[in-house]
Structure formats: C-alpha cells, structure tokens
C-alpha cells in the first residue's frame, strides 16, 4: 500500500469536515456517514507521475511565466522533505504549487480582489522529490487578501500544495503558512485545524538556504502518516 495513504486519521491534528467559523464548510461538509467505494483499476494503476511530467522551469515560479520583466515582490526559496511517520524519505513524489501574487491576487477569473495582476507571475509550479525525498523551489512571497467569510476577513500569506503518490487516490492537499504572521490568529481556515496540528502548517525561516542578495529561505516538511502527519484539507 502506498506510503501516501492514511491508515490513521488523528483528530488532534487534522481539521474536521465541519468547522462553522469557516462558513463554506457548512455547505461542503458531508451530512451523512461516508460510504467507502471500491477503487477502480484506473485509480490504482494511473496516472503515473515522473520526471517527464516536470518542465525545466516548473520549479521556479519567478521565471516560468515571465513575459517582459521580473515578477514583483519578495523572492523566497521553499524547501523540505517528504517522509513517512518514521522519517523515511518518500522519493519521486510530485508536488504541485499554487498561490496568490505579492499583492494577494490569483490569476483566476473568479478572483475579484481589487489588486493588480502581475503579468510576469502566474503563481503555479511543480517539483518532484529526489531519491532522498527532498524538494526545492523558487517563488514570490504571496500577499494577504480579503475574502467573504466574515466582516473584514483576510487570509494570511500562504502557499497551496498538492502531493501525488503513484496514483490519483494518494493525493494530499494542504497549505503552508509563514512564521509570525499576525493574521493567523484571526483566520478560520487555520484555526479550524486543532491546536496540535497548527504548528505543522507553519514553515520555518532557514538562513542556511537563503541566497545572499537574492532570496530568503523557508523550510516546510511533509509528514504523510502517523500522529505528526501534516494536516490535510478535508472540506
């Protein structure tokens, strides 16, 4: 069985399906007991993700959509390791990344935030972990943005991740936050995660990967099983 499949759902780490303060979960959370459906052959055997699916600039969001100049904002490096509950690396795992630009705007037609779109920053990328489970990518630190959950609601700076194992059923979707962000204590999405799991969603500043005169470094590890597994989105 894949290392990415959860054998234990730790209620002290992972968010519940229903979190009333996070208003969209009221409509999205299941109201009846879940039904386990037998996996089909196509789900168990494909798709298969490998190096052929990752382009030469997919890991560098500061370059992969440049049109006429450098993207605006603070350049950062995000790196870490994908591992199981025993610290064993999980190699060749596809990580997809998407985020807002430095002004807090997504390149998406439903994003109506009154902030500029950066023509040189798409906000999407992907990277494959190496044989030791390590990954690394360049990007622009995302900005905060307003959302309609409640009065004066703002989402903290964050990056979305989707991790794929050997097939589509072994997918993890989560978010990474930044240390010291004052908006964390007001965000229902972050607060919807039990206290034990919240610190697992906050990256750590890492001077060792910071590139002088270019970009600050942050470390964010993914633990995909066990009591300290990275909280995943459930609704």
Give the other-Cβ count within 10 Å of 58's Cβ. 18
**Which residues touch 34 (CB under 8 Å, ≥6 apart)?**
none
Structure tokens at 1: 């069985």
Identify which of 82, 104, 117 has the alpha carbon closest to the alpha carbon of residue 158: 104
Are 38 and 169 in contact, with CB atoms under 8 Å apart? Answer: no
Question: Furthest-apart CA pair in the chain: how many Å?
Answer: 54
Q: Which helix (H) or strand (E) holds 207?
A: none
* Strand, helix or coil for residue 216: strand
Sign of CA dihedral 178, 179, 180, 182: positive
CA angle 128, 130, 134 (to 5 degrees): 90
Which active-site residues does the annotation give?
106, 145, 155, 158, 160
């Amino acid at each position: 069985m894949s290392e990415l499949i959860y054998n234990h759902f730790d209620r002290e780490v992972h968010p519940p399906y229903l979190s009333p303060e996070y208003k969209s979960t009221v409509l999205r959370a299941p109201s009846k007991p879940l039904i386990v459906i037998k996996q089909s052959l196509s789900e168990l055997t494909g798709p298969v993700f490998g190096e052929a699916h990752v382009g030469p600039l997919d890991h560098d969001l500061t370059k992969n959509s440049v049109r006429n100049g450098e993207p605006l904002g603070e350049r950062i490096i995000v790196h870490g390791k994908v591992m199981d509950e025993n610290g064993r690396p999980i190699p060749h795992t596809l990580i997809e990344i998407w985020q807002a630009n430095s002004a807090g705007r997504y390149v998406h037609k439903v994003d109506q935030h009154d902030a500029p779109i950066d023509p040189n920053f798409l906000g999407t990328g992907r990277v494959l972990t190496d044989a030791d489970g390590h990954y690394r990518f360049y990007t622009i630190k995302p900005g905060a943005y307003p959302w309609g959950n409640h009065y004066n609601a703002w989402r903290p700076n964050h990056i979305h991740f989707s991790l794929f194992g050997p097939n589509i059923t072994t997918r993890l979707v989560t978010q990474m936050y930044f240390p010291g962000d004052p908006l964390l204590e007001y965000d229902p999405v972050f607060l919807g995660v039990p206290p034990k799991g919240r610190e697992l969603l906050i990256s750590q500043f890492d001077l060792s990967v910071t590139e002088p005169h270019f970009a600050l470094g942050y470390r964010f590890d993914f633990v995909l099983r066990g009591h300290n597994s990275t909280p995943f989105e459930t609704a």
